[in-house]
Amino acid sequence: MPAENMTKKKKGWALHQKRWFGKWHLYLGIIAGAILVVVGLTGSILVFQDEIDIALNKDLFESMKGQKRYSIEEVVPVVQQKYPTKEFDYVMYADVKNPNATYRFFNFHTEEEFFINPYTAELSGKRLVNSSFIRIVMNIHRTLLVPVAGRYIVGFATLCMLILTISGLRLWVPQQYKKWKQWKAVLTVNFRASFKRQNYDWHNVIGFYTAPIVILLSITGIAITFSTLFIGSLFMITGQSPQSVASIFGQKSVVVEGAKTLTLAEVSAIAHQQMPTAVLIGAAIPDEKDGVYRLDMKSPGASKEGNRVMMMVDQYSGKITLNSETDFPNIGNSYLSWLTPLHYGTFGGMPTRILALIGGLVPLLLFITGFIIWWPRYKKQKGKATYVEPKPTVKERELESIRQLPFGKYFVHHFKKGLKYALLLLVCAFLSGALYGLISGVIIQPALFTVLYTGISIGVNFVIAFFAFTFTGVFLAPFRKGSKPVYKYFALSLAFLVVFLPVIVAMGKWCTDLF
């Protein structure tokens, strides 16, 4: 390559790194990198959490085959009679697919878990819920073992992972790549190059090819952390108020003094009258007079996991007070049936579970290769005695002229730019979900889910931008202390909302059956 072209390329890359997305990529990688490594590695373990837990505790999870297996409805009264001192709140299959799997009983007050033989209803063993290896891994994954604040630290670190992925893709596609040879160079690793160059290539290649998986894992992780916010948003998309969420989850039984409470078998029979194809996989037993039975069921669906259905039933009258299939907005069922399966890759079977496992390893690989890229540059910059400001390039002069525009024109400029970015993000979100599910043949649902939950995140971001914009306009602008970056942020946020809001509202009306 001619020396002149090499000089131009270096200047281009230098400018590229100085742009806002380059700075976000650098600083977020440094700040959140170590946390994301821990969250990613524990997430990879949790993809196969059931298999690992069973392998480590076979005596608890499996029993010898007997003559007759108790159903989940039958085993509860037998256990209550055999072990009257054993209190429990919830019962579930240890493994629905394994006929020799035990039943798991939980007492959430004492954090005790005990196991019951499905053929004899005898106690197979017990443990504290949080004492198992998998539960410790899960707690690290969700909270880093930090009380209260840990959940939100993980949530914001996951948001950083999403921003890192998007900014990394933007850094990966500089303006100079116009020819196929140049694209080929950045899509592969040059094994003949130096270690430094190969490391740089690996950082780019890993980040690019795993981007669809990482984007899905990040979005679902954010939705799990801020579940209340996302569930409320799903209701509002369909025109329902956030208060309806509280009323749905606050179901109570109508207390009838002296009346006999229904058994789980009777309640299950009532539920199956409404949903004869659904399978009961777990049940919460009411421990208060006004408590309700909560039945967790699965029905056939596009996901390999099926559709999850939640029913709540009055313990006295047998009235169904909640059926998620009919009482939730149809699009709200995407949260129940798709969120966790997408996060752990179980929606598409083994192929997507392997992809999710790989996605969990990506933060570690990118952190190591990124550190190797950054550290020599940091040492070189730190070692300089003086720093000479380079002459501004044409692009930098253009950016400065934009910053000097009046507020109105400045706002319009970034709003138009935001529309382009938003349309690009809409396409990328759809493609990310589609590519994640492609290997399993489940394509449309992950793609739509990604668009939907990206849109909800953009809506939340707009609310934050609106308050920042209002505060600046009301309290700072009168004193001529208005901040143009805030106006830019609001303009971009508004543009993204304009593009995504009609799409997610349309999904709420016309795409609900797919979820």
Overall average pLDDT of the 306-328 stretch: 90
Task: State the pLDDT at residue 187.
Answer: 81
Overall average pLDDT of the 468-485 stretch: 69
Task: State the pLDDT at residue 85.
Answer: 92
d(CA 68, CA 205): 55
Task: State the pLDDT at residue 245.
Answer: 62
Lowest mean pLDDT: which of 129-143, 452-466, 499-513? 499-513
Overall average pLDDT of the 491-504 stretch: 94
Overall average pLDDT of the 313-334 stretch: 86
Overall average pLDDT of the 442-458 stretch: 92
**Residue-by-residue DSSP string for 335-374:** HHHHHHHHHHTGGG-HHHHHHHHHHHHHHHHHHHHHHHHH
Q: Please give the share of the chain, as a percent, with pLDDT higher than 70.
A: 85
pLDDT band at 4 (very low <50, low <70, confident <90, very high): very low
Question: What's the Cα-to-Cα distance from 202 to each of 107, 188, 195, 196, 247, rounded to whole Å?
Answer: 48, 8, 10, 10, 51
Token representation of residue 418: 């935001």
Task: State the pLDDT at residue 399.
Answer: 65
Helices then strands, counting H and E runs in the chain, come out as 20, 8
d(CA 332, CA 329): 5
* Cross-strand partners of 292: 314
pLDDT band at 181 (very low <50, low <70, confident <90, very high): low
pLDDT band at 425 (very low <50, low <70, confident <90, very high): very high
The count of other CB atoms within 10 Å of the CB of residue 424 is: 12
- Which residue has 């131009």 as its token pair? 8
d(CA 162, CA 129): 32
* Cross-strand partners of 284: 90, 294
Q: Is residue 332 within 8 Å of residue 234, measured between CB atoms?
A: yes
d(CA 509, CA 499): 17
Q: 441, exposed or middle or buried, with CB in 10 Å at 0-12, 13-18, 19+?
A: exposed
Q: What is the separation, in whole angstroms, between the first and last Cα of the chain?
A: 53
Task: State the pLDDT at residue 13.
Answer: 40
Q: Which residues contact 71 (CB under 8 A, 6 or more apart)?
A: none
Q: Quick one: angle between helices 149-172 and 195-209, nearest 10?
A: 110
For residues 235, 240, 245, 246, the Cα torsion angle rounded to the nearest 10 degrees is: 160
Overall average pLDDT of the 310-338 stretch: 87
Whole-number average pLDDT of the chain: 85
Q: Is residue 350 within 8 Å of residue 332, measured between CB atoms?
A: no
Higher-confidence residue: 11 or 113?
A: 113
Amino acid occupying residue 86: K
- Residue-wise pLDDT tens digits, 268-287: 999 999 999 999 999 999 98
Q: Where does residue 219 fall: left (phi above 0), alpha (psi -120 to 50 degrees), or beta otherwise?
A: alpha
Q: Is residue 320 within 8 Å of residue 412, measured between CB atoms?
A: no
The count of other CB atoms within 10 Å of the CB of residue 368 is: 15
pLDDT at residue 476 tops 90: no
pTM: 0.86
Task: State the pLDDT at residue 12.
Answer: 40
Overall average pLDDT of the 19-43 stretch: 85
Q: Is residue 355 within 8 Å of residue 439, measured between CB atoms?
A: yes
pLDDT at residue 478 tops 70: no
d(CA 40, CA 44): 6
Q: Quick one: angle between helices 484-510 and 407-438, nearest 10?
A: 40
Task: State the pLDDT at residue 507.
Answer: 84
